[in-house]
Structure 1
Amino acid sequence: MSYILDALNKSEQERERKQTPGLKSLRGEPSPNRFQLRHFLYLLALLAIFNSIGVFIYFGNNSQPETGIAPQAISPSADSLVPANAAAVDTPMTSSSLTAAQPARFPAPVTTGKTGDINDLPAHVIRRLPEIQITTHIFASDTDLRMVNINGVSRREGDLVTNSLLLVEITEDGVVMNFEGYAYAMNILEDWQNNP
């Protein structure tokens, strides 16, 4: 019986070889689309070229082209020289020009001696100190990130709180203020713990 089945299978295979292939008989492996891969590689190369050009333009030669004009040495004229014993002329400044020219932040004034506590100040200075209320204290190692809120206004190091009160420094546990040349430290964290 197996001989008969084998003979039938062989005859069927020979018949299929002689027939023209149908739609179902074409099952070849799909070839990779090299056309799309080639376009992708071209696009990637073009993008790399544009990126290189952009980097060269951005970081490239930013210097001004030479104009061919050499700088000239300027020698002082006889009119511009001032004798060493000439007196300086004082020009009085009006209060309006003084306030308009002052920036909002000032460098810390030079104080002699160590910064003491507010209680170490002379009595006449303590009486004239303006009343301030510090509600927020933010300390960071970066001085640009430090901030305190004094009397409802955010302040940074070097800001004037009043005309005569300067915020010199924001420390880990308080602030250093300068009032009319007297520098003193305020430990506000200790005050907050004592007065909840």
Structure 2
Amino acid sequence: MSFILDALKKSESDRQQQTGAEFSDVPSGSGDSRRYKWLWILALLLVVNFAALLVVLVRPGSAPQDPAPVVAPPAGPAASQPAEPAQPSFEEQVAIARETHEARAEVRAETAELRVRDTQAEEAASATPAPATRRIRTIDELRLEGSLQLEDLHLDIHVFSDNRDERFVFINMAKHREGSRLDEGPVVSEITPDGVILDYQGMTFLLPRE
């Protein structure tokens, strides 16, 4: 900028000097005008160069750029999260469905087989005849046949229980348990819900409860 000012001052001084002498020296006027012209051109070039220099110095591209922000890596717990399991393909889904269907079919078949076996076992059990219960004749039936000669026996008290030790009877007002012998001769073989089974002279008969 100081160069431009010095050039302008010098141009103004030369112009004043030439103005004072223009009437004394007329023939030199054309040379002075050329000199002024070049001085103005020089000053204009200097101004243009200075303006260009300012533009280069202050343009936005030359300004220092801010450093790019640094992206912090994700925290450890977030990075360690397990990835979601991949969905099975169509073929895998078909294979799984087929295996499930086959497994269910096997379970149904086994269940049906068990039911058939249970039914057969029940039918076999129902078809098997129950063992025939030996009918024991009563004391009165043997007397009518004439095969038993025995004094009259009367069952006064009859107590039956699932526990054999708690069973007892009173026959002709005498208390007896299983295995005991009556004064009349018979032996108490068993006390049943129906009465007393007695053994006498190789015969077994029932003294029923009243």
Q: Same fold (TM over 0.5)?
A: no
Structure (1 or 2) with the greater helix fraction: 2
If asked which structure has higher relative contact order (CA below 8 Å, sep 6+), I would say 1
Greater radius of gyration (CA): 2
TM-score by structure 2 length?
0.33
